């Protein structure tokens, strides 16, 4: 066992966290209001505390010290001394062992106990009381890491936005029930990087996998007491630490290996990150890290009532990104994942929180300014979830250039359109065109719209066509959680059915919605499992279901219906890749003409005539046709897409230009190959609840 000196050397405040330099370890932790910070060291065998030091120096609000001869693998934690004055926002309690905000590895998960609360949990004085019991027996220890890893020739794929197809997936849910030859540990990064998973992504044409939170998170105590857990992971404990539950052998290198394998296959990895709140909850929550180090700085407090935390997240607390040190922690964390794990991009959960200054949401906030000017982060894919529960929380279309945004307007409109709701044609047209009505400003491109049809939060696509309402009884919240309005329809029977007519109709609507997603301008995002009809049995809020409700049932991929859907999705992605007009790099408004008398986009009625103002407002709407034309190199790509959400087949006249027409896709006949139309053909049948896609090669006189 290492022999420790009596005191620490001064060290440096330059790098926050614990860093090994080959001769010892420097410790540095920020706290503007602490009066003393102690470093506690622990025996790796029995977890008992074996040494304690005062951090000897305090420079620019950073406590720091240096332990000579110490090496990676050392276990440590902090204790912070200062006023316990909740009324004024201070909650220092040195009896509580604290995690380093910059820790890069923990020894294990939280073991919940009353001792982790800074106050007496059942005291009539609530959080004004003070708890003197030591929380160390129930806390994980921080582990000093050496991040050295041999990346060899790893190169970020840097897939262009217009060719990006995203799959949103949960590491455990994606891989838990997938059989693989080399037997990687199911539910871990090992399985994520397995050959079978990469082959499946390639088969679909997915270029980018967006992972639900993989930063270390903690399940809420109340969920565990109800026999549930936080499955999704939107409850971060440590911003620099890979979640231990996804590591087969405990080494962060397992994530690096998975990223490296995915990169070698040309697939990007995007992380869903949660920097809007932490797992410490409200002022009545536990003291695990940030609260104990400097509650008044790390969190936003209610002005004039600093005992209470602002709750713009719905999770009890809101990180104070207006403070430069808190903002620094977030940026340092992002750069750490980008540099040390080669992550290709980030999806920011509840992103308006990150841009909300004390006066409200600001596209020019410190967070956005810092990200956009950063030489590392500005080169990654940046995706915002543009809503939160706070004041002015819906901000779709208001994020700065450089950010893409999840488009819930696309989701809701597509569902309503194909459900047959009235007056949806104008809204559907705007979404197909990349939502330029909301995003085409400041030089933004169509890729700024992340077109979503389904996500982890809500119904799967199979459930959208199988359930009229949510069925969340397994969550033990009396069925009141989750979205009440899903714009879904069961088409005759609530839940599973063996009626061939109902199954046929559901399949038609399902494929039509999927085609709308993949063939619209913007960046399509597929929910993992939708490609083979995954169901959650009507649960639209499976955040606490770490079980068969949420884990993908890969046996469905082997059924005839699952195989048809998988091939259909792959075909849609291939069509999108092959036709530039389906993945425009600039917004189309009908003002640019790739050919004489041929605008880049046009909207048509069933008789082939352009849509007029009166048709956009028709309540008894039946058919929407959109022709798009795009130049690439010296050739023009022209596609014509017709959408029929009604219950009857429609004969539609083809608009110009004259040329050779090819039927590329009929969603009601997913296995039909591309078919050249008769040269004399002037119309096409658009089946009920169906979408057809055609292309035309102009006659020689019209070609460029």
pLDDT digits (tens, 9 = 90+) for 239-263: 999 999 999 999 999 999 999 999 9
Is residue 369 within 8 A of residue 350, CB to CB? The reply is no
Contacts of 325 (CB under 8 A, 6+ apart): 30, 32, 61, 297
pLDDT, tens only, 555-612 = 999 999 999 999 999 999 999 999 999 999 999 999 999 999 999 999 999 999 999 8
pLDDT, tens only, 472-499 = 999 999 989 999 999 999 999 999 999 9
Q: Which of 349, 440, 457, 600 is catalytic?
A: 349
Secondary structure (3-state) at 515:
helix
Q: What is the pLDDT of residue 4?
A: 87
pLDDT, tens only, 42-94 = 999 888 999 999 999 999 999 999 999 999 999 999 999 999 999 999 999 99
495-502 long-range contacts (CB < 8 A, ≥24 apart) are 495/466, 495/467, 495/471, 495/537, 495/538, 496/466, 497/466
- Plot region of 141 (φ>0 → left; ψ -120 to 50 → alpha; else → beta): beta
Is residue 532 within 8 A of residue 567, CB to CB? The reply is no
The mean pLDDT of 148-157, rounded to a whole number, is: 96
Q: Which of 340, 385, 440, 546 is catalytic?
A: 385
pLDDT, tens only, 675-684 = 999 988 889 9
Q: What is the pLDDT of residue 69?
A: 96
pLDDT, tens only, 199-252 = 999 999 999 999 999 999 999 999 999 999 999 999 999 999 999 999 999 999
- Show the beta-strand stretches assigned E in 235-349: 236-242, 268-273, 345-348
Q: What is the rounded distance in angstroms from the CA atom of residue 662 to the CA atom of residue 508? A: 21
Neighbouring C-beta atoms of residue 651, cutoff 10 Å: 11
Higher pLDDT, 683 or 615: 683
Is residue 546 within 8 A of residue 229, CB to CB? The reply is yes
* Helix 324-340 vs helix 366-373: crossing angle, to nearest 10: 30
Q: What is the pLDDT of residue 634?
A: 83
Q: Which CATH class is domain 589-698?
A: mainly beta
- Show the beta-strand stretches assigned E in 55-163: 57-59, 62-68, 75-81, 84-85, 90-91, 142-143
Q: What is the pLDDT of residue 702?
A: 55
Q: For domain 161-270+331-344+368-380+397-581, which architecture applies?
A: Alpha-Beta Barrel (3.20)
Q: What is the rounded distance in angstroms from the CA atom of residue 181 to the CA atom of residue 158? A: 30
349 included as an active-site residue? yes
Domain map of the chain by residue range? 1-153+277-301, 161-270+331-344+368-380+397-581, 589-698
Q: What is the pLDDT of residue 576?
A: 98
- Which has the minimum average pLDDT: 512-526, 531-545, 631-645? 631-645
- Plot region of 133 (φ>0 → left; ψ -120 to 50 → alpha; else → beta): beta
Q: What is the rounded distance in angstroms from the CA atom of residue 391 to the CA atom of residue 353? A: 10
Q: What is the rounded distance in angstroms from the CA atom of residue 189 to the CA atom of residue 222? A: 28
548 included as an active-site residue? no
- Show the beta-strand stretches assigned E in 363-522: 381-384, 404-407, 449-452
Q: What is the rounded distance in angstroms from the CA atom of residue 630 to the CA atom of residue 193? A: 37
Q: What is the pLDDT of residue 318?
A: 98
E strand or H helix that includes residue 661 = strand 659-666
1-153+277-301 maps to CATH 2.60.40.10: yes
Whether the per-residue pLDDT at 704 is higher than 60: the answer is no
The mean pLDDT of 276-283, rounded to a whole number, is: 98
Q: What is the pLDDT of residue 493?
A: 97
Distance of CA 674 to the CA centre of its chain: 35
Q: How far apart, in Å, are the Cα atoms of 240 and each of 11, 106, 149, 254, 573?
A: 22, 10, 16, 15, 35
Q: What is the rounded distance in angstroms from the CA atom of residue 157 to the CA atom of residue 260? A: 11
Q: What mean pLDDT, rounded, does the chain reach? A: 96
- Please name which of 500, 510, 508, 686 lies closest in space to residue 607, comparing C-alpha atoms: 686
Is omega for the bond preceding 608 within 30 degrees of 0, making it cis?
A: no
Secondary structure (3-state) at 562:
helix
Q: How far apart, in Å, are the Cα atoms of 113 and each of 93, 121, 289?
A: 16, 10, 15
Write the DSSP assignment of 614-625 as a string of letters: HHHT-SS---EE
Strand order in the sheet with 36-42: 49-54, 36-42, 75-81, 142-143
Give residue 621's pLDDT band: very low, low, confident or very high (50, 70, 90): confident
Q: What is the pLDDT of residue 91?
A: 98
Query: 544-558: buried (b, 16+ CB within 10 Å) or exposed (e) per residue?
Result: bbbeebbbbbbebbe
Secondary structure (3-state) at 518:
helix
Whether the per-residue pLDDT at 703 is higher than 90: the answer is no
Parallel, antiparallel, or unpaired for β 268-273 and 208-211?
parallel
Is residue 342 within 8 A of residue 354, CB to CB? The reply is no
- Plot region of 117 (φ>0 → left; ψ -120 to 50 → alpha; else → beta): beta
Q: What is the pLDDT of residue 1?
A: 60
Q: What is the rounded distance in angstroms from the CA atom of residue 464 to the CA atom of residue 474? A: 19
Strand partners, 216: 238
E strand or H helix that includes residue 546 = none
Give residue 524's pLDDT band: very low, low, confident or very high (50, 70, 90): very high
The mean pLDDT of 349-375, rounded to a whole number, is: 96
- Please name which of 347, 551, 389 lies closest in space to residue 460, comparing C-alpha atoms: 551
Q: What is the pLDDT of residue 272?
A: 98
Q: What is the rounded distance in angstroms from the CA atom of residue 98 to the CA atom of residue 39? A: 10
Identical fold, 1-153+277-301 and 589-698:
yes
The mean pLDDT of 266-276, rounded to a whole number, is: 98
Q: What is the pLDDT of residue 617?
A: 84
């Amino acid at each position: 066992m290492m022999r420790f000196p009596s005191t620490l050397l001064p060290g440096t405040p330059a790098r926050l966290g614990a860093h090994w330099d080959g001769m010892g370890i420097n410790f540095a932790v920020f706290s503007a209001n602490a009066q003393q910070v102690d470093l506690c060291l622990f025996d790796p065998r029995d977890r008992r505390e074996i040494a304690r030091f005062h951090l000897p120096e305090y420079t620019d609000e950073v406590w720091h010290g240096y332990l000579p001869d110490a090496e990676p693998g050392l276990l440590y934690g902090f204790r912070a001394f200062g006023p316990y004055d909740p009324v004024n926002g201070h909650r220092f309690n040195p009896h509580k062992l604290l995690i380093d905000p910059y820790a890069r590895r923990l020894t294990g998960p939280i073991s919940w106990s009353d001792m982790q609360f800074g106050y007496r949990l059942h005291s009539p004085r609530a959080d004004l009381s003070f708890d003197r019991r030591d929380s160390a027996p129930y806390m994980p220890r921080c582990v000093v890491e050496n991040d050295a890893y041999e990346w060899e020739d790893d190169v970020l794929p840097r897939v262009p936005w217009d060719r990006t197809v995203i799959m949103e997936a949960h590491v455990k849910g994606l891989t838990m029930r997938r059989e693989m030859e080399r037997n990687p540990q199911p539910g871990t990064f090992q399985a994520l990087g397995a050959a079978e998973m990469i082959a499946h992504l390639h088969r679909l044409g997915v270029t980018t996998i967006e992972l639900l939170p993989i930063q270390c998170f903690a399940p809420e105590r109340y969920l565990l007491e109800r026999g549930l857990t936080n499955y999704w992971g939107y409850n971060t404990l440590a911003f620099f630490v890979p979640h231990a539950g996804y590591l087969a052998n405990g080494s962060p290198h397992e994530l690096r290996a998975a990223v490296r394998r995915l990169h070698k296959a040309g697939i990007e990895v995007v992380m869903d990150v949660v920097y809007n709140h932490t797992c410490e909850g409200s002022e009545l929550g536990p003291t695990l890290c940030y609260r104990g180090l400097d509650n008044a700085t790390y969190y936003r407090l209610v002005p004039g009532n600093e005992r209470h935390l602002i709750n713009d997240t719905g999770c009890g607390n809101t990180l104070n990104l207006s403070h430069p040190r808190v903002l620094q922690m977030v940026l340092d964390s992002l750069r750490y994942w980008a540099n040390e794990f080669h992550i290709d991009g980030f999806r920011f959960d509840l992103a308006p929180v990150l841009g909300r200054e004390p006066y409200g949401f600001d596209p020019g906030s410190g967070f956005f300014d810092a990200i956009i000017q950063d030489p590392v982060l500005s080169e990654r894919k940046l995706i915002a979830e543009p809503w939160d529960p706070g004041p002015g929380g819906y901000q779709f279309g208001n994020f700065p250039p450089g950010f893409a945004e999840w488009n819930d307007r696309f989701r809701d409109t597509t569902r309503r359109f194909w459900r047959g709701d009235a007056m949806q044609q104008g809204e559907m047209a705007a979404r197909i065109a990349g939502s330029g009505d909301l995003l085409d400003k400041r030089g933004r491109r169509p890729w700024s719209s992340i077109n979503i049809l389904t996500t982890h939060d809500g119904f799967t696509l199979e459930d959208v066509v199988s359930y009229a309402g949510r069925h969340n009884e397994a969550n033990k919240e009396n069925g009141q959680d989750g979205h009440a309005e899903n714009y879904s329809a069961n088409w005759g029977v609530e839940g599973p059915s063996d009626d061939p007519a109902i199954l046929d109709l559901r399949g038609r609507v399902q494929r039509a919605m999927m085609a709308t997603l993949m063939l619209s301008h913007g960046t399509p995002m597929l929910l993992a499992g939708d490609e083979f009809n995954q169901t959650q049995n009507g649960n639209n809020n499976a955040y606490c279901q770490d079980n068969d409700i949420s884990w993908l049932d890969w046996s469905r991929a082997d059924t005839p219906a699952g195989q048809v859907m998988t091939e259909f999705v792959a075909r849609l992605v291939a069509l999108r890749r092959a036709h530039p007009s389906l993945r425009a790099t600039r917004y189309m408004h009908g003002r640019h003409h790739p050919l004489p008398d041929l605008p880049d986009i046009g909207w048509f009625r069933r008789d082939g005539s352009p849509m007029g103002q009166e048709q956009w407002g028709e309540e008894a709407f039946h058919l929407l046709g959109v022709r798009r034309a795009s130049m690439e190199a010296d050739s023009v790509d022209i596609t014509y897409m017709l959408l029929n959400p009604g219950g009857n087949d429609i004969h539609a006249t083809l608009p110009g230009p004259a040329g050779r027409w090819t039927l590329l896709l009929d969603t009601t006949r997913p296995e039909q190959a591309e078919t050249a139309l008769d040269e004399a053909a002037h119309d096409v049948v658009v089946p009920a609840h169906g979408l057809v896609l055609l292309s035309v090669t102009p006659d020689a006189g019209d070609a460029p």
